[in-house]
Amino acid sequence: MNIGQAAKHTGLSAKMIRYYESINLLPHAGRSESGYRQYSAGDLHRLAFIKRARDLGFSLEEVGKLLALWQDKQRASADVKALAEGHIAELERKIAEMSALRDTLVELAASCQGDNRPDCPILKGLEQGVGCGEPMCSHRSKDTP
């Protein structure tokens, strides 16, 4: 099938498929006599794997490692699990960071009257560095570096 059909079948854009090919996540497609890329069922299966891994938040580098492990029938499942657990730890770190940012923003919004006066605690908080990673940020816990 051509790239447009492959895109429709996988839910990826043609641009993304070409990009995955350019960074070697997908082998270079064969070409038709007229020069159009041609994708096999195996290519579509690989693209679906890549899309699912990306949907789970794996980086392109991690996707490359997962693809290598997927193709290696002699792999140790411990290697796959270690990669997944590393990704889980990173997701948990990001979730904690986003929760702290949300809490800070909720606190700032709650302190704002939201009326016609020009005084705005949200802008003052941003000016003073609240929620920005500075030591004065109110969302930092004692055990957060």
CA 140 to chain centre: 24
> For the whole model, what pTM was predicted?
0.76
3-class secondary structure, 49: helix
pLDDT above 70 covers what percent of the chain? Answer: 90
Q: For position 128, what pLDDT does the model report?
A: 87
The structure tokens 């055990």 sit at: 143
Q: For position 126, what pLDDT does the model report?
A: 87
| 71-90: average pLDDT | 97
| pLDDT tens-digit readout, 121-143 | 899 888 888 765 544 444 444 44
Rounded Cα distance between 100 and 18, Å, is 38
| pLDDT tens-digit readout, 107-124 | 999 988 888 888 888 998
Q: Tell me the H-state helices in 11-76.
A: 14-22, 41-55, 60-71
* Rg (the chain; Cα; Å): 23
Q: For position 133, what pLDDT does the model report?
A: 55
Instruction: Return left, alpha or beta for 143; rule: phi > 0 is left, psi -120 to 50 is alpha, else beta.
Output: alpha
